[in-house]
């Protein structure tokens, strides 16, 4: 089915471990985004990508790495997870930067 998917949906890891969250969209949207959502902070943009091999920082990029080798995939890596990265992570995609964004179901990450 067309849409945007995220995996895993739930993840528990330990401080210092590397974690990769996956995002896949089937619309061939140019833009893809990663957000984190925390109580009291709302949704904050981590990174976004305009096309394959083009990425840019958002509001809270520190501690995260992204890549986009294919248009449909946009993985987010926490190179050395910290407790402050415990959050719900949403991936989204859109045709243009200021177009409607369509969100994936989210990944709930807990860092112990």
Binding site for other proteins (CB under 8 A): 33, 35, 40-45, 48, 58-59, 90, 97-106
Which one, 85 or 107, has the nearer CB to other proteins? 107
Backbone φ and ψ for 74, nearest 5 degrees, come out as: -145, 80
Which one, 16 or 105, has the nearer CB to other proteins? 105
Give the up-direction half-sphere exposure of residue 54: CA atoms within 13 A in the CB hemisphere.
9
Which one, 3 or 16, has the nearer CB to other proteins? 3
Q: How far is the CB of 69 from other proteins (least distance, A)?
A: 22
Q: Is the dihedral of CA 3, 67, 110, 101 positive or negative?
A: negative
Give the up-direction half-sphere exposure of residue 73: CA atoms within 13 A in the CB hemisphere.
10
Q: How far is the CB of 106 from other proteins (least distance, A)?
A: 5
């Amino acid at each position: 089915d067309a849409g945007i998917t995220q995996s895993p949906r739930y993840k528990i890891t330990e401080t210092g471990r590397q974690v990769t969250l996956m995002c896949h969209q089937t619309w061939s949207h140019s833009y893809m985004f990663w957000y984190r959502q925390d109580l009291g902070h709302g949704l904050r943009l981590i990174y976004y990508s305009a096309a394959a091999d083009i990425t840019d920082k958002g509001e809270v990029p520190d501690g995260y790495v992204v890549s986009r080798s294919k248009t449909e995939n946009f993985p987010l890596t926490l190179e050395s997870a910290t407790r402050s990265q415990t959050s719900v992570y949403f991936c989204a995609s859109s045709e243009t930067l200021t177009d409607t964004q369509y969100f994936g179901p989210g990944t709930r990450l807990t860092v112990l």
